[in-house]
Amino acid sequence: MGTGLILGIESSCDETAAAVVRSGGEVLSNVVASQMEMHALYGGVVPELASREHLRNIVPVVREALRAADVSADDLDAIAVTAGPGLAGALLVGISFAKAYAFGLEKPLIAVNHLEGHIHAVLMERHGASAGGLLALVVSGGHTHLYLADESDGSWRYRNVGRTVDDAAGEAYDKVAKLLGLGYPGGPWIDRLSAHGNANAVPFRFISINRGTEEDPSFDFSFSGIKTAVLRYVDTHGMKAAIDARRAALARIEQPSLKDVLALCDAETLDLIASFQHAVVGNLVRQTLAAAAHFGATGIVVSGGVAANRALRARFAEVAAERGLSVAFPGASLSTDNAAMIAAAAWPKLRHGEFAGADLNATPQLRL
């Protein structure tokens, strides 16, 4: 297995990514071709377009990852690829490429679950992480999942102890941003605009959901209610015309700056945005801490696109310090979709000889 040099490939959604990582932690290259601008024109990811872009990007992105790492394909010890969850057509581009590449080079192929990848985006930077007692919150545009993560003999096992019953947190951010006439993806806009509003102006409420049993509890999330509550607020406060005007004005600006967007938001809108974020962040932190307390976890790792949120990071850091818990987030370049996290998650599998066969297929609903 050489020095554990793994080429990771990721194409589950709207980023075509390739990376070379040594021994699960040393990132030699991390290349991401984002399609965000293209999908922004349509207000969300268009699956057909995503597949076509992945096809166009996969070869140059892999070539660039090898070049930037200064390694030749022959030096690689394995090829790792995201097998799911994600868009079927998008996943297939990465998988087909990885299979052919591994076969041609006579190297092992390793299948990685995208969610395990997100968790390893944090673990790979946390050398000597304490084994056991680790709770992972994966919070992105497609997922809001809690896992207990355990390492034994260098192998990781995960137990799902909570998930969203409807929308993912990132999806709620994107939908609320859209209904307020802001651009896509909405998470980063709401994050930045929230600093300019009063987070206590609108008291949004969450109810705790626990679908499990006493022996087998499940700390679940629901984000469709708050989306409806924001919609109702907009209707009852006569904000519709201002929203349409904002949407039209923003459509005329090529790459709006924060200043541009702020100029188009009145105080009531900023208060609504800040209150929405405050409620979502509070709910994510509360449920995660309840699960940590229940399972006796002493370490929390937060990953996925929404982990970039500044209020979420600040709130977690604050309460973790109060309770003597450790909380870790991925660095900026590893929080949104990337292939370094896929190569990192593949390293324990390489050591254990957990390889995929030529029959590897995309699994859009793959579970962890």
Q: Which residues form the interface with ligand KG4 (CB under 6 A)?
A: 13, 140-142, 170, 173-174, 185-188, 191, 304-306, 308-309, 336-337
Tokens coding 358? 């030529």
CB of residue 337 to ligand KG4, shortest distance in Å: 4
Q: Which does 197 bind (CB under 5 to 8 A by kind): ligand KG4, Zn ion, none?
A: none
**Strand ranges inside 35-153, DSSP E:** 78-84, 109-113, 134-139, 144-152
Q: Does 15 bind Zn ion (CB under 5 A)?
A: no
93 marked among binding-site residues: no
Enter the tokens of residue 135. Answer: 């709770």
Among residues 141 and 299, whose Cβ is nearest to ligand KG4? Answer: 141
CA distance 25 to 126: 9
Q: Which does 308 bind (CB under 5 to 8 A by kind): ligand KG4, Zn ion, none?
A: ligand KG4
Residue 309: contacted member of ligand KG4, Zn ion, none (CB under 5 to 8 Å, by partner type): ligand KG4
Is residue 188 within 8 Å of 131, Cβ to Cβ?
no
Q: Is 142 flagged in the annotation as binding?
A: yes
Sign of the dihedral through C-alpha 124, 130, 131, 133: negative
- Give 82 or 269: the residue with its C-beta nearer to ligand KG4: 82
Ligand-binding site membership of 140 (annotated): yes
**Strand 155-163 with 144-152, pairing:** antiparallel
> How many residues sit in the footprint of Zn ion (CB under 5 A)?
2
Residues 6+ apart with CB under 8 A from 289: 319, 323, 325
Can you count the helices (H) and strands (E) in the chain?
13, 12
CB of 345 to ligand KG4, least distance (A): 14
Residue 32 vs 110, nearer CB to Zn ion:
32
Chain positions 327 to 346 lying near Zn ion, rule: CB under 5 A, are 337
